[in-house]
Amino acid sequence: MTVLGAAQSAGIFIPTLCNHEKLKPFGGCRLCMVEAEAGGRTSLVSACKYPVQQDLVVRTRSGQIDNIRKVLTEQLLAFAPDSEVLLELAREYQADKDRFAKEPSFCILCGLCVRYCAEVKQRHGVGFIDRGASREIGFIPEIAATECWDCKECFPLCPTSALQAAFVLVKSLTPSPS
Ligand code: SF4
């Protein structure tokens, strides 16, 4: 079991934007960073990937952790300034929603839609496109035309409006299967 899974089972809140109970840990958003102390050493780890172990001491909040979450939230808000989930995190960690110049792609690349479609639905109807700063998600028109129109199970997973916008776009550009 991971630290995040153990915390969730115990009702202890650790923020995350890329974790889902049906998906493999991704470690993408880094918001679940916690302090883990074992054998006299303390390190910062991603709770969604770090396994629980005997005598492990975990701090889910500290000045350092809160500051990391604050900066991460500020960076993500540059991409998705209207995301309710991010605005809630901004309130919790006193993040300045206008700290970074806006580059509103509306996708924060959490990968939930891509991984859910691949791992749970095994359809690969939506995927990552490009690399680095150009990376974005997109529906694969040939697959979307037969698999996505009536599915939409990924919609509620998206912490921003990016997924629905991409869906509307691909649907408008894709002829219906005959
Ligand atoms: S479209 Fe939404 S769910 Fe998919 S990667 Fe972007 S933010 Fe995450």
State the distance from the centre of ligand 1 to the C-alpha of 73, rounded, in angstroms.
15
Q: Average per-residue pLDDT in the chain?
A: 94
3-state secondary structure string across 165-176: HHHHHHHHHCCC
The answer to whether 29 touches 20, Cβ cutoff 8 Å, is no
Kindly report, residue by residue over 29-45, the tens digit of the pLDDT.
999 999 999 999 999 99
- Tell me the pLDDT band of 171, cut-offs 50, 70 and 90: confident
Query: Which of 75, 86, 107 to mutate for ligand 1's pocket (most ligand atoms within 8 Å of CB)?
Result: 107
Exposed/middle/buried for residue 113 (C-beta within 10 Å: 0-12, 13-18, 19+): buried
- Tell me the pLDDT band of 178, cut-offs 50, 70 and 90: low
Enumerate residues lining ligand 1, CB below 6 A.
Answer: 107-113, 137, 157-160, 162-163
Residue 176: per-residue pLDDT: 65
> Rounded to whole angstroms, how far apart are CA atoms 9 and 124?
30
Neighbours of 142 (CB within 10 A): 11
Least trusted range by pLDDT, from 76-85, 89-98, 107-116, 126-135: 126-135
Helices (H), 63-161: 63-79, 84-92, 112-115, 141-147
What is the position in ligand 1's atom list of the atom closest to the CA of 106?
7
Residue type, 32: C
Q: What is the mean pLDDT of residues 60-88?
A: 97
**Whole-structure pTM value:** 0.92
The answer to whether 110 touches 29, Cβ cutoff 8 Å, is yes
Query: Which of 75, 114, 129 to mutate for ligand 1's pocket (most ligand atoms within 8 Å of CB)?
Result: 114
Residue bearing the CA closest to ligand 1, atom 4? 113
